[in-house]
A and B are shown apart, each in its own frame.
Chain A
């Protein structure tokens, strides 16, 4: 049934990664992405791969979930790798017909593929260990300084919160209206594009109307509960950096420095 989807990828747990402050995790994820891009050679990638494997182990997230998160990019990874493999110039090692493979090509293909895999695996580790709500809190807190230049950090976070809350409700409602119109002979599956688009009208109009009604009622309910924007608002769960976060920053900095040092400067002349 359409209503049975799980939201986000969060897998509850109590590992060190789960317990870190969301801000720490978001910042470190960005740092990780930077390290991946700075790194240029195979040894560096091996190190990053090792680091990533360690983090996955620590998070307690089953490895198959990480593989699952890579599923949508398999095609993209293979495509980029092939493109780099055949399109990179240099000294050809193998040639057949119009296809030539050079040493540089192999290295570039491997690098690009690994970069993509690391990026996706790294960020999915963030979403696997952080609930959407906590993530929203983290984003809000990190964007807070930007409110000085009129950036609507609180509003953005509130929108994300409400979206998270209402997505399951609206999905359920879509299912219901779809069934109700099907009972009147609506056909959402057959016919050409135009017929299909037309068939959507009896679904979309009730959905729009009900969403507006919901928004209206929600706004009223929020007002009645004293909502007046982000100003002067406090939180049930204040974000607080703990000793664990400091440790995480330090450990990560050391490891990142190592990766960059090894990965950027070709120490072993490979």
Chain B
């Protein structure tokens, strides 16, 4: 469990706090999406989860470890893994499998054990076949999956993804999202994903919307996206179909508002149009 209590943080270069009294609890096995426009504080929040940043006020605990406890930093980093936006800047070695081995090597594991973990991690993200390739011959989505494998090989309980698909094309985005979803549902890894793609957030169990360093919405995707007007005001999008339903409701048409997918909305609209054909 990750517990964030009254967290505030102010950058040295800024007067305004980037985080302003955040209270959140992330339970074991959850899949949480954090939304917010650029500069809302969502990345700053992510960086607090594995002590890249330390709170100016309040506390962050991960499985009972205070992130500010410098003596337990190594332990914390093993518990909470982090995948960054640019896959190029987190791959260290010039062969895929050697890069995935980097983390376990740092932990000082015997080489047979490293081999096991590397193979397992690469298979989990579907990159095992490409284990001997050079990263610069891979597509963006493949590189990002290698980066994810590098974190899985450390066997963390939590993984924080900081806009993992922002630099990828649609195919790469799909590959990476699939890998992330599988990690959560099949491996039971607690997942926090920072994103500004609404369709990605819709895949989560829970959406946290941050604005001006504060939690504005904390709900299921269905309920969160029902706040179309509020989300738009915060500079965020909702899925096109959700927006359509919202606007039709505004015209007084009886529709359930918490529909997210094309199929769900089609069913709902059909009900409204029933006698029409």
Residues of A within 8 A of B (CB): 7, 132-133, 161-162, 164-165, 168-169, 172, 213-214, 217-218, 220-228, 232-238
A67 CA / B78 CA spacing, docked (Å):
50
CB distance from A165 to the nearest CB of B (A): 4
User: Which of A220, A221, A238 counts the most chain B CB atoms within 10 A?
Assistant: A221
- Shortest beta-carbon contacts, A-B, top 5: A221-B90, A236-B101, A217-B89, A226-B106, A225-B103
Residues of B near A213 (CB, < 8 A) are: 89
Closest to A12 in B: B132
Closest to A168 in B: B136
A110 CA / B102 CA spacing, docked (Å):
50
Residues of A near B92 (CB, < 8 A) are: 161-162, 165, 218, 221-222
Known A225-B151, A226-B106, A226-B107; contact A165-B91, beta-carbon cutoff 8 A: yes
Closest to B51 in A: A224
Q: Which of B93, B103, B105, B110 contacts A165 (CB 8 A)?
A: B93
Q: Are A224 and B114 in contact (CB under 8 A)?
A: no
Please encode chain B, from 131 to 145, with 1 for each CB lying within 8 Å of some chain A CB and 0 for all others: 000111000000000
Please encode chain B, from 243 to 254, with 1 for each CB lying within 8 Å of some chain A CB and 0 for all others: 000000000000
Residues of B near A162 (CB, < 8 A) are: 92
Residues of B near A225 (CB, < 8 A) are: 77, 102-103, 106, 150-151, 154
Q: Are B115 and A236 in contact (CB under 8 A)?
A: yes
Known A225-B154, A236-B101; contact A169-B106, beta-carbon cutoff 8 A: no
Q: Are A226 and B103 in contact (CB under 8 A)?
A: yes
A221 CA / B52 CA spacing, docked (Å):
10
Q: Are B106 and A228 in contact (CB under 8 A)?
A: yes
CB distance from A5 to the nearest CB of B (A): 11
In the complex, B111 has a CB within 8 A of chain A: yes
Q: Are A238 and B111 in contact (CB under 8 A)?
A: yes
Q: With contacts A161-B94, A221-B90, A221-B147 known, what are 13 further pairs, Cβ within 8 A? A: A133-B93, A133-B94, A164-B94, A168-B134, A172-B136, A214-B88, A225-B150, A226-B74, A228-B74, A234-B105, A236-B101, A236-B104, A236-B115
Q: Are B95 and A133 in contact (CB under 8 A)?
A: yes
Residues of A near B118 (CB, < 8 A) are: 236
Known A132-B94, A169-B136, A237-B111; contact A224-B77, beta-carbon cutoff 8 A: yes
Please encode chain B, from 110 to 126, with 1 for each CB lying within 8 Å of some chain A CB and 0 for all others: 11001100100000000
Closest to B101 in A: A236
Residues of A near B62 (CB, < 8 A) are: none
Q: Are B111 and A235 in contact (CB under 8 A)?
A: yes
Q: Are B89 and A234 in contact (CB under 8 A)?
A: no
- Give the total of B residues in contact with A, Cβ under 8 Å: 40
Q: Are A233 and B89 in contact (CB under 8 A)?
A: no
A133 CA / B132 CA spacing, docked (Å):
12
User: Which of A221, A232, A236 counts the most chain B CB atoms within 10 A?
Assistant: A236
Closest to A161 in B: B93
Residues of A near B151 (CB, < 8 A) are: 225
A208 CA / B136 CA spacing, docked (Å):
20
A132 CA / B105 CA spacing, docked (Å):
19
In the complex, B98 has a CB within 8 A of chain A: yes
Q: Are A234 and B111 in contact (CB under 8 A)?
A: yes
Residues of B near A224 (CB, < 8 A) are: 50, 52, 77, 81-82
Closest to B50 in A: A224
A213 CA / B88 CA spacing, docked (Å):
12
Residues of B near A133 (CB, < 8 A) are: 93-95, 98
14 interchain pairs, CB-CB under 8 A: A133-B93, A133-B94, A164-B94, A214-B89, A222-B92, A224-B52, A224-B82, A225-B150, A225-B151, A226-B78, A226-B106, A233-B108, A234-B105, A236-B104
Q: Are B105 and A221 in contact (CB under 8 A)?
A: no
Residues of A near B108 (CB, < 8 A) are: 232-234
Q: Are A226 and B77 in contact (CB under 8 A)?
A: yes
CB distance from B123 to the nearest CB of A (A): 16
Please encode chain B, from 9 to 31, with 1 for each CB lying within 8 Å of some chain A CB and 0 for all others: 00000000000000000000000
Residues of A near B136 (CB, < 8 A) are: 168-169, 172
Residues of A near B150 (CB, < 8 A) are: 225
